[in-house]
């Protein structure tokens, strides 16, 4: 190890010795770390002075930054040092410049990026006003780059005069936006178009000026028709008449007509003759029943009725049905309504003799009861023998009558039934 004191040739202070010792040890490493720096880049800053154009900066060089165009310093230092290829941090702070808002009387302003540096302001005027100046301005480094425009009220030139009309009224050389002028046609003339015009935002009156027309419609001619009501000549614009057809004619078209601007009627009706056609009809007389009409009612064909035939009486729904008559059978004689009903007779039974109408009625006999004998009229009431005889009489009389009638019918065969011939009383007994 080399003695520092011998190298220097004298006795050196202790601090200097340490520095020399460290330099001898770190010399090669320190030379290796001493590098140049690349050009420093800051988004909101830029270099000042002679360093603006340089691309490489030696180790240990100090440079200064300032806020870039459109930005303002908010404090701090812009100095930075190249240390072994790296720039130290500066304390300078920058923010984008704000131009402030703009005001447009009778108009509106729109901003692309607020009111800061680089933003674009677009101007437009309200309806009835026209822009004077630039339509757009840009926020620069210190202010808006240009003069703020203005909105002026729209002016319209005087509209033209109209033939046969009074106006425009009021009469001026220039009219402000939304001003209105009016026209009036002379006597016997009708205005065609709008009587009022308005100064619009494009500096012109709208709509177009009107015209004045002489409107006269000729008297309507409707063959086989006549005027019912309405105006009388002369027929001017909007005159209204109503026509009707004569008897026997029918109108086709609109009978009410209006005189139009082109001096013609709004419609031309016609009265056409009514043609009456007749067709033969057949009248039939049929009984009718009032029934309510119903989406299920069906129509049935009605046959004509022979006027010479007997009337058909309504049928009682509760009566028994009438069966057809066999033409080969014996005729049925009419029955005396005062006579007793004739019951069917068993041809094998004994004939039944006619009953004396003056005799007592014969009551039906209970087959389970004892036979009843004829009653002795001389017996006293309550006599059992007499009662038995009377009961026998009541039983035998109907039997004898039935046998007599059966024999009579058997003898006559299939002859038709006739009223029974009364027999003498002695034969009945």
Domain 163-212 CATH (choose: 3.30.70.330, 3.40.640.10, 1.10.3720.10, 2.10.70.10): 2.10.70.10
Count of CA atoms in the C-beta half-sphere (13 A) of 52: 7
Contacts of 149 (CB under 8 A, 6+ apart): 104, 107, 123, 131, 132, 133, 134, 135
pLDDT at 16 over 50: no
Distance between alpha carbon 144 and the CA centroid of its chain, in Å?
A: 58
Distance CA 126, CA 178 (A): 13
Provide the mean pLDDT of the chain: 74
In CATH, what is the architecture of 37-96? Ribbon (2.10)
Bond prior to 422 in cis (omega within 30° of 0): no
Give the mean model confidence (pLDDT) for residues 183-209. 94
CATH 3.20.20.150 correct for 107-153: no
Task: Grade residue 107 by pLDDT with cuts at 50, 70 and 90.
Answer: very high
Distance CA 40, CA 21 (A): 36
In DSSP notation, 121-148 reads EEEEEPTTEEEES-SEEEB-SSSBSS--
Distance CA 59, CA 277 (A): 128
Task: Grade residue 297 by pLDDT with cuts at 50, 70 and 90.
Answer: very low
Q: Could you report the per-residue pLDDT of 74-103, keeping only the tens digit for each?
A: 999 989 999 988 999 889 999 999 999 999
In CATH, what is the architecture of 225-273? Ribbon (2.10)
Give the mean model confidence (pLDDT) for residues 382-394. 60
pLDDT confidence of residue 321: 45
Distance CA 328, CA 317 (A): 30
Specify the pTM.
0.43
pLDDT at 43 over 90: no
Locate CATH 2.10.70.10 in the chain.
Answer: 37-96, 107-153, 163-212, 225-273
Tokens of residue 297, six digits? 């009612």
Q: What b/e string do you get for 346-368 counting C-beta neighbours within 10 Å, with b at 16 or more?
A: eeeebbbbebeeeeeeeeeeeee
pLDDT confidence of residue 402: 83
pLDDT at 335 over 70: no
pLDDT at 272 over 90: yes
Give the mean model confidence (pLDDT) for residues 286-296. 42
pLDDT confidence of residue 160: 93
Percent of the residues in the chain that have a pLDDT greater than 90, as a whole number: 44
What is the CB neighbour count within 10 angstroms for residue 419? 11
Task: Grade residue 406 by pLDDT with cuts at 50, 70 and 90.
Answer: confident
pLDDT confidence of residue 298: 36
Q: Could you report the per-residue pLDDT of 158-192, keeping only the tens digit for each?
A: 999 999 999 999 999 999 999 999 999 999 999 99
């Amino acid at each position: 190890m080399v003695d520092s004191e011998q190298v220097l040739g004298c006795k050196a202070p202790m601090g200097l010795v340490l520095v020399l010792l460290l330099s001898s040890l770190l010399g090669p490493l320190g030379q290796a770390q001493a590098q140049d720096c690349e050009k420093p880049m800051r988004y909101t800053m830029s270099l000042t002075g002679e360093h603006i154009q340089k691309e490489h900066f030696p180790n240990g060089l100090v440079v200064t930054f300032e806020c870039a165009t459109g930005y303002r310093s908010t404090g701090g230092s812009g100095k930075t040092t190249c240390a072994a290829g790296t720039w130290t941090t500066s304390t300078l702070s920058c923010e984008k410049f704000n131009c402030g808002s703009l005001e447009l009387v009778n108009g509106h302003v729109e901003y692309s990026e607020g009111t800061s540096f680089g933003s674009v302001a677009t101007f437009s005027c309200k309806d009835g006003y026209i822009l004077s100046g630039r339509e757009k301005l840009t926020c620069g480094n210190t202010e808006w780059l240009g003069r703020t425009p203005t909105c002026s009220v729209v002016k319209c030139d005087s509209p033209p005069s109209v033939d046969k009309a009074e106006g425009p009224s009021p009469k001026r050389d220039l009219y402000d936006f939304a001003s209105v002028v009016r026209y009036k046609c002379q006597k016997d003339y009708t205005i065609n178009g709008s009587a009022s015009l308005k100064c619009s935002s494009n500096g012109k009156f709208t709509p177009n000026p009107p015209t004045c027309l002489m409107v006269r419609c000729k008297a309507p001619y409707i063959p086989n028709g006549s005027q019912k009501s309405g105006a009388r000549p002369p027929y001017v614009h909007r005159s209204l008449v109503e026509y009707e057809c004569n008897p026997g004619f029918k109108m086709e078209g609109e009978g009410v007509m209006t005189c139009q601007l082109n001096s013609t009627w709004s419609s031309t009706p016609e009265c056409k003759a009514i043609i009456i056609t007749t067709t033969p009809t057949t009248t039939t007389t049929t009984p009718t029943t009032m029934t309510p009409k119903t989406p299920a009612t069906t129509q049935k064909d009605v046959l004509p009725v022979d006027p010479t035939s007997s009337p058909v009486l309504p049928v009682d729904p509760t009566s028994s049905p009438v069966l057809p008559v066999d033409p080969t059978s014996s005729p049925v004689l009419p029955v005396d309504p005062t006579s007793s009903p004739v019951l069917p007779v068993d041809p094998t039974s004994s004939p039944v003799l006619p009953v004396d109408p003056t005799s007592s009625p014969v009551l039906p006999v209970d087959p389970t009861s004892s036979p009843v004998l004829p009653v002795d009229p001389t017996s006293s009431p309550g006599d059992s023998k007499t009662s038995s005889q009377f009961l026998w009489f009541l039983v035998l009389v109907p039997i004898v009558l039935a046998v007599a009638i059966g024999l009579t019918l058997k003898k006559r065969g299939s002859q038709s039934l006739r009223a029974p011939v009364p027999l003498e009383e002695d034969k009945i007994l």
